[in-house]
Amino acid sequence: MRDETTCCLVRSTRNRQKATTMEQWPSLSILLSFLLISAVILSLCQAAPEVFTNSFYVRLNGEHGHDVASRIAKRNGFENLGPVMGSKSEFHFVHRGLNHARTKRSVPHTRLLKADPLITSAIQQSGFRRVKRGFNPLKVENLVDVPLSHNDPSDPYFPYQWYLKNTGQNGGKPKLDLNVEAAWAQGITGKNVTTAIMDDGVDYMHPDLKFNYNAKASYDFSSNDPYPYPRYTDDWFNSHGTRCAGEVAAARDNGVCGVGVAYDSKVAGIRMLDQPYMTDLIEANSMGHEPNLIDIYSASWGPTDDGKTVDGPRNATMRAIVRGVNEGRNGLGNIYVWASGDGGEDDDCNCDGYAASMWTVSINSAINDGQNAHYDESCSSTLASTFSNGAKDPNTGVATTDLYGKCTRSHSGTSAAAPEAAGVFALALEANPSLTWRDIQHLTVLTSKRNSLFDAKGRFHWTMNGVGLEFNHLFGFGVLDAGAMVALSREWKTVPARYHCDGGSVKEARRVPSRGTLVLTLDTKACQGTDTEVNYLEHVQAVVTLNSTRRGDTNIYLTSPMGTRSMILSRRPNDDDRHDGFVKWPFMTTHTWGEYPKGTWTLEVRFVGDVLQAGWLKEWTLMLHGTRDAPYVNLPVTDPHSKLAVVKKAHEDRKKA
């Protein structure tokens, strides 16, 4: 079943009544593209000056294919780098005579391309910043002997992999881990599953990775060749991807480093972070690379975590993601795993359009005693958590592979957390290869655990939503439990079709008071009686347009008819924007998962901070995503205390009432 839009910046009013369940990048009218472009340009002005690269998105007037495209490029003085997402009519051209980054568009080059009779459009790519999350420079490692049980992997770093098996090493809390041994004990180790590490390259000759390397699914989009080997620098800056790869698929019992979460799975390297500026085409080609060979894409990067950026996937990248979830894995949908961000309490991952997307699984981190890490961001779109580093000794990071055949124990940041989740999902996909991208999200919600996770500062408490699912603003539905996820995956029945319901809008501009709160309500029937009826929620988006004299002092809450209150925008003290505000920004919450959407939704907007601010809320549209039919009805309940049992009972009681 396909899934319709919502993206955000350009939600089409024309599509409102459209009865499809496909996730869809809306067909764009001129007005809508204008909105998108202006939103993008506006958000860029805020963060960094716009630059233009020497690369061009080129659309031909038909499906001419690669060779013709190369000839067209050549006769205009360009080089054809290849198709955009495998297309026969869209290509990526570069002009070697242009600087890699300039401050002005090169109108003559664009004009030259557009004048070619076989070219219908040519867009010079802007360049922007995408940063790795959690980079730690090289450290010298001294190993000490830690006793092992005879069932444990014999790899020398396994005793340091407290996130796989926490015995209380380094002051950690015993059993606060991913519970992977319970998955391995079911014979599940990730066989025939490929995770792509979209990063700065992978040392695929590393003795702990080379037998699990999927060369066919790999590519280097930074250098445009099939070998995503990291570029050497003295400080090993480009070790990030190799470290992430080892967390997923380092080999077992080979005497090298530790083991991956899914140590019999494969990793692909997609090198795409190592060039002066990121472009939409590099991101799109990376996220759309070999979607039938790659099951899971893991990303430990994003817009700058400076607490004042509002940015997300651009045009082609959004298309790549939507195509991935609709068509990838031969129609089951690719899984995109995202590090929620390292901006700390002063940032909000709902302002990061990758992490906040419904089509990515956004993962936060916890440290080895159950607290959040000091760099963790919080937001209502985070689905679950894994682990990053130690509490007492910050060098007790994640033990994994490092460049040039080495090992490290100090990989950290939410960067380190996302690949652990990719590994757990690889286990789930081996246990049940027919899981869809949505099944993975449902399984995550149902099997993640509160365990002993807590907010170090006591701000965010564990709260029960309307159908008995416990969530936390920092950790989502809790820490992944590989054993439980694999067990439930085996009996899983694919969830019912997904629908997208426009739950209504408030479109008159309303003043946000300088003191006090603007409270808006929307009564919705959740498209009852239409073919997009939603009765059981998955994601909810509040698409908001607002301006204010200080964007970072704006605070927004969304409360569901069942009383679940999500903070969809927290204070960001560094965000001093006073021009752009938010333009149709899709704030997302996962906290109302499983709830019934019918009834009254409440949006509260207010200013926090010491200085009086002023602003206007110009638009609020409520987008409800989920199923018409109850999920989980055909799933057997073995444990009456499981979340599955609790939600099923809530749904059954509701039906009786």
Ligand X SMILES: *[C@@H]1O[C@H](CO)[C@@H](O)[C@H](O)[C@H]1NC(C)=O
- Per partner kind, with CB cut-offs from 5 to 8 A, the member of ligand X, Ca ion, none near residue 170 is none
Q: Does 547 contact ligand X by CB under 6 A?
A: yes
The only residue of 6, 414, 549, 592 in contact with ligand X, by rule CB under 6 A: 549
The active-site residue, picked from 155, 177, 199, 577, is 199
Site for ligand X in 113-142 (CB under 6 A): 123
Tell which residue, 14, 102, 91, 96, has the closest CA to residue 56.
91
Q: Does 208 contact Ca ion by CB under 5 A?
A: yes
Q: Considering the complex, state which of residue 17 and residue 192 has its C-beta at the smaller distance from ligand X.
A: 192
Contact 43, 118 (CB under 8 A): no
115 Cβ partners below 8 Å, 6+ apart? Answer: none
Contact 586, 596 (CB under 8 A): no
551 Cβ partners below 8 Å, 6+ apart? Answer: 310, 572, 575, 576, 577, 578, 580, 581, 582
Binding segment for ligand X among 408-416, 514-522, 541-549, 640-648 (CB under 6 A)? 541-549
Cα(498)–Cα(21) distance, rounded to whole angstroms? Answer: 6
Please state the closest distance from residue 265 (CB atom) to ligand X, in A. Answer: 11
The only residue of 106, 616, 630, 635 in contact with ligand X, by rule CB under 6 A: 616
Binding segment for Ca ion among 46-54, 300-308, 453-461, 617-625 (CB under 5 A)? 300-308
40 Cβ partners below 8 Å, 6+ apart? Answer: 9, 314
How far apart, in Å, are the Cα atoms of 306 and each of 162, 309, 405, 585, 608? Answer: 30, 7, 33, 19, 19
How far apart, in Å, are the Cα atoms of 229 and each of 197, 202, 220, 224, 247? Answer: 12, 6, 8, 12, 18
The only residue of 509, 519, 612, 637 in contact with ligand X, by rule CB under 6 A: 509
Q: Does 13 contact ligand X by CB under 6 A?
A: no
The only residue of 386, 432, 548, 570 in contact with ligand X, by rule CB under 6 A: 548
Cα(157)–Cα(148) distance, rounded to whole angstroms? Answer: 11
Half-sphere exposure of 301 (CA within 13 A, CB side): 22
> Would you tell me the crossing angle of helices 437-447 and 414-431 to the nearest 10 degrees?
110
Q: Structure tokens of 262?
A: 């899914």
Binding segment for ligand X among 217-225, 420-428, 440-448, 543-551 (CB under 6 A)? 543-551
Strand-pair partners of 124: 56
Q: Structure tokens of 164?
A: 């796989």
Q: Considering the complex, state which of residue 69 and residue 367 has its C-beta at the smaller distance from ligand X.
A: 69
Q: Considering the complex, state which of residue 94 and residue 379 has its C-beta at the smaller distance from ligand X.
A: 94
Binding segment for ligand X among 128-136, 346-354, 406-414, 545-553 (CB under 6 A)? 545-553
Q: Does 345 contact Ca ion by CB under 5 A?
A: no
Binding mask 297-326 for ligand X (x = CB under 6 A): ------------------x-----------
Label residues 329-360 b or e (16+ Cβ within 10 Å = b): beebbbbbbbbbbbbebbbbbbbbbbbbbbbb
Q: Does 42 contact ligand X by CB under 6 A?
A: no
Q: Does 583 contact ligand X by CB under 6 A?
A: no
Residue 199 is among the residues annotated as catalytic for this protein: yes
- Per partner kind, with CB cut-offs from 5 to 8 A, the member of Ca ion, ligand X, none near residue 28 is ligand X
Site for Ca ion in 252-271 (CB under 5 A): 254, 256-257
Residues at the site binding ligand X, with contacts judged by CB under 6 A: 28, 33, 37, 123, 192, 315, 509, 547-549, 578, 615-616
Active site residues: 199, 240, 415
